[in-house]
């Protein structure tokens, strides 16, 4: 499948053409139209060994996109199958790539107030591209989507209710980049992404840090807009919101003027006059005090976020550097990483200086014995967009059918050692009744959970025994126990809280306490018929009437012998007002993004 990818900004258009064969994505063409002004622009094209750069007559985004068919023909690139677009803001509803038809575009248009500086250019690119390639599917990939897993404590600003109701919340951006480099880092470390606590630091003209906990974005430094967080080329990053009132009273500035200043005249540019880190580093080296301060401040802000995210995740396995500055500035990486010995991170200065990123390399530059890896890798947002477009288009078109829903009460799965400690040596559980998932059963025996605030008795034990003890409770139970229990996929137990379990023969204190993330067990035949794939996250509409709910991010697990059903917990069932024998319906988001909220 050959995919043309556009990344449209207010003053530039970047594009790439990618061939997707199975899991491999190969870039066959790269281009950019930059600095639209004075009736022209600067164009750069590259394919294989051929490279060209020079002035071009295209005065704006629309003219540049309209010229792309001729450019591609000139470079011998034919046979496009789809067009992918980077869309900055997908709000809370676009959790995955979406086909850009009129209804979807109208929906994205409604999000423009959230991203007035970014979405209009993205949308213009889509509209022009739909005219230029009317027969090709056009798919949008959203910068915000990766961060929609952030929990409410991360996404909520502590502001009046009415402001929150008006949509003021944190989103986070650069999601495509953070997702790509996290996958790349996991490959480089040879470990599953789902086992890793990563901090991705994207330092380009825009800059953000992201905490990726066990494969999912937990927090990122950008907020409602891409202005919050790190110091950037022209953006301030974090400032006290009190600045608005102060600047208004002292300098008579309007809200628009302050916003403009924070977005376009701050950051490195505000501190030094140049938004370009290479200039700033050169000036600092020549003794310019303003440039030296800018570099210190820039690195310090990144360090603060790395420390904060290590604390938020309860540890970190790797820090990833990417973006023009993260990839190229060894001195900035060193400034950021120096002094992190206390948390087990030590850089190898020779490796740091020798970084070579050719062929999508992801070298590790930590010192021997450092507990935390440090990885440098090029970001490849367009390549990631191409991958996601291909996956979206390949997704089999299934026939919607009702999905049985099972409600899981609180229960435990025991390992052999826990069974022995709780019930005595050589004890075997008594099978009470089989469960619908083949091979699984409920035992007659019961245990008690004991937390700092309370006890819960008569907890069911589900067999067979597992490698690790896992305790599944609801959010409500977590309050009764007095323990902040994380939502986790089954088996993802690293760093989970400790709970006391009491049995007839003894008690144990064990980790493995989770609120189980909702999921769908499905066998391959049903998955094919319903157009679902293993690892996919879907939304499911459950319940009827006033309490009907659409549940987001429901993980699909295709297993050879699964009895097809969705598992939710008692809190979720109560929220949707449902009982036994209920059915759900997978919502086709790409066709109806409006339903996704």
d(CA 300, CA 279): 19
Min dist CB 532 to ligand ADP, Å, is 35
* Phi and psi based region of residue 535 (left: phi greater than 0; alpha: psi -120 to 50; beta: remaining): left
d(CA 63, CA 77): 19
- C-beta of 43 vs 586, nearer to ligand ADP: 43
What the block records as the tokens of 510 is 């064990």
CA distances from 345 to 348, 357, 370, 579 (A): 10, 22, 5, 50
Q: How many chain residues bind ligand ADP (CB under 6 A)? A: 13
Min dist CB 144 to ligand ADP, Å, is 17
Here's the x/- map for ligand ADP, 233-272, by CB under 6 A: it reads as x---------------------------------------
Min dist CB 331 to ligand ADP, Å, is 8
Here's the x/- map for ligand ADP, 181-220, by CB under 6 A: it reads as -----------------------xxx--------------
- Tell me the backbone φ, ψ of residue 242, rounded to 5 degrees: -60, -15
Q: Using CB under 6 A, which residues numbered 530 to 559 contact ligand ADP?
A: none
Stretch that binds ligand ADP, among 323-331, 396-404, 484-492, 532-540 (CB under 6 A): 323-331
Residues counted in the chain: 597
Min dist CB 415 to ligand ADP, Å, is 47
- C-beta of 278 vs 547, nearer to ligand ADP: 278
Give every strand in the sheet of 197-203, ordered side by side: 216-220, 207-213, 197-203, 318-322, 373-376
Query: Which residue of 328, 364, 448, 570 would you call a contact of ligand ADP, by CB under 6 A?
Result: 328
Residue 35 found at the interface with ligand ADP (CB under 6 A) = no
- C-beta of 321 vs 551, nearer to ligand ADP: 321
- C-beta of 330 vs 406, nearer to ligand ADP: 330
d(CA 13, CA 504): 68
Q: Using CB under 6 A, which residues numbered 398 to 437 contact ligand ADP?
A: none
Q: Are residues 387 and 367 in contact, defined by beta-carbon separation less than 8 angstroms?
A: no
Catalytic residue among 143, 317, 477, 526: 143
Query: Which residue of 329, 470, 510, 539 would you call a contact of ligand ADP, by CB under 6 A?
Result: 329
- C-beta of 325 vs 493, nearer to ligand ADP: 325
Q: Using CB under 6 A, which residues numbered 281 to 320 contact ligand ADP?
A: 281
- C-beta of 36 vs 423, nearer to ligand ADP: 36
Min dist CB 283 to ligand ADP, Å, is 12
Min dist CB 274 to ligand ADP, Å, is 9
- C-beta of 87 vs 566, nearer to ligand ADP: 87
Residues sharing a CB contact under 8 Å with residue 245, sequence separation 6 or more, in sequence order: none
Residues sharing a CB contact under 8 Å with residue 518, sequence separation 6 or more, in sequence order: 551, 554, 555, 566, 567, 568, 569, 572
Min dist CB 95 to ligand ADP, Å, is 24
Min dist CB 353 to ligand ADP, Å, is 12
Q: Are residues 183 and 199 in contact, defined by beta-carbon separation less than 8 angstroms?
A: no
Active site residue 288: no
Give how far the C-alpha of residue 47 lies from the chain's centroid of Cα atoms, to the nearest Å. Answer: 30
User: Which DSSP string corresponds to 89-138?
Assistant: --TTT--S-EE--HHHHHHHHTTGGG-TTTHHHHHHHHHHHHHHSTTS-E
CA distances from 393 to 2, 139, 200, 315, 593 (A): 12, 9, 28, 37, 16
User: Which DSSP string corresponds to 398-437?
Assistant: PPP--EEEEEEPSEEE-BHHHHHHHH-TT--PPEEEE-SS
Min dist CB 208 to ligand ADP, Å, is 10
What DSSP element (H or E) covers 295?
helix 289-313
Residue 325 found at the interface with ligand ADP (CB under 6 A) = yes
Residue with CB nearest ligand ADP?
324
Stretch that binds ligand ADP, among 64-72, 254-262, 294-302, 324-332 (CB under 6 A): 324-332
- C-beta of 295 vs 596, nearer to ligand ADP: 295
CB atoms near residue 331 (< 10 Å): 14
Please tell me what DSSP assigns to residue 49: T
Q: Are residues 350 and 367 in contact, defined by beta-carbon separation less than 8 angstroms?
A: no
Q: Using CB under 6 A, which residues numbered 268 to 287 contact ligand ADP?
A: 276-278, 281
- C-beta of 199 vs 277, nearer to ligand ADP: 277
Binding stretches for ligand ADP (CB under 6 A): 204-206, 233, 276-278, 281, 323-325, 328-329
- Residues acting as catalytic residues: 143
């Amino acid at each position: 499948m050959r995919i043309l990818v556009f990344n449209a900004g207010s003053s530039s258009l970047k594009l790439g053409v990618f061939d997707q064969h199975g899991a491999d994505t190969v870039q066959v063409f790269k281009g950019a139209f930059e600095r639209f002004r004075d009736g022209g622009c600067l164009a750069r094209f590259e394919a294989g060994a051929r490279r060209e750069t020079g002035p071009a007559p295209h005065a704006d985004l629309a003219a540049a996109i309209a010229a792309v068919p001729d450019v591609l023909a000139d470079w011998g690139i034919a046979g496009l199958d789809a067009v992918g677009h980077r869309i900055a803001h997908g709000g809370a509803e676009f959790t995955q790539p979406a086909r850009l038809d009129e209804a979807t575009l109208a929906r994205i248009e409604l999000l423009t107030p959230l991203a007035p500086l970014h979405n209009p250019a993205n949308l213009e690119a889509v509209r022009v591209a739909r005219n230029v390639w009317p027969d090709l599917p056009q798919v949008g990939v959203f910068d915000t989507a990766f961060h929609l897993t952030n929990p409410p404590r991360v996404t909520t600003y502590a502001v009046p209710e009415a402001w929150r109701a008006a949509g003021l919340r944190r989103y986070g951006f650069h999601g495509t980049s953070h997702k790509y480099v996290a996958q790349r880092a996991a490959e480089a470390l040879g470990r599953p992404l789902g086992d890793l606590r990563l901090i991705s630091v994207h330092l380009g003209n825009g800059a953000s840090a992201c905490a990726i906990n066990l494969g999912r974005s937990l927090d990122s430094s950008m907020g409602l807009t891409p202005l919050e967080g790190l110091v950037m080329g022209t953006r301030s990053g974090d400032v006290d919101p009190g600045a608005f009132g102060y600047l208004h009273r002292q300098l008579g500035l309007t809200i628009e003027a302050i916003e403009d200043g924070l977005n376009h005249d701050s950051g490195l540019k505000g501190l030094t006059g140049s938004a370009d880190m290479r200039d700033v580093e050169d000036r600092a080296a020549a003794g310019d005090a303003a440039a030296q301060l800018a570099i210190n401040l820039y690195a310090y802000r990144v360090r603060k976020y790395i420390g904060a995210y290590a604390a938020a995740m309860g540890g970190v396995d790797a820090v990833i550097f990417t973006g023009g500055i993260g990839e190229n500035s060894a001195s900035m990486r060193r400034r950021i990483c120096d002094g992190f010995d206390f948390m087990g991170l030590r850089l190898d200065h020779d490796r740091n200086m020798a970084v070579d990123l050719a062929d999508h390399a992801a070298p590790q530059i930590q010192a021997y014995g450092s507990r935390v890896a440090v990885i440098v890798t090029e970001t490849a947002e367009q390549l990631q967009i191409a991958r996601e477009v291909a996956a979206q288009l390949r997704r089999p078109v299934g026939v919607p059918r009702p999905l049985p829903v099972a409600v899981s009460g609180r229960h435990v799965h025991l390992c052999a050692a826990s069974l022995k400690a709780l019930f005595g040596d050589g004890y075997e559980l008594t099978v009470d009744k089989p469960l619908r998932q083949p091979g699984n059963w409920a035992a007659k025996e019961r245990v008690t959970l004991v937390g700092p605030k309370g006890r819960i008795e008569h907890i069911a034990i589900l067999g067979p025994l597992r490698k690790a003890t896992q305790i599944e409770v609801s959010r409500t139970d977590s309050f009764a126990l007095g323990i902040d229990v994380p939502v986790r996929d089954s088996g993802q137990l690293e760093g989970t809280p400790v709970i006391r379990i009491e049995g007839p023969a003894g008690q144990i204190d064990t980790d493995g306490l989770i609120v189980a993330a909702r999921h769908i067990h499905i066998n391959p035949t049903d998955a094919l018929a319903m157009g679902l794939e293993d690892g996919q996250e879907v939304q499911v509409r459950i319940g009827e009437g006033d309490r009907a709910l659409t549940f987001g991010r429901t993980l699909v697990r295709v297993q050879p012998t699964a009895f097809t059903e969705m598992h939710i917990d008692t809190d979720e069932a109560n929220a949707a007002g449902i009982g036994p024998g209920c059915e759900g319906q997978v919502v086709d988001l790409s066709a109806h993004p409006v339903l996704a909220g």
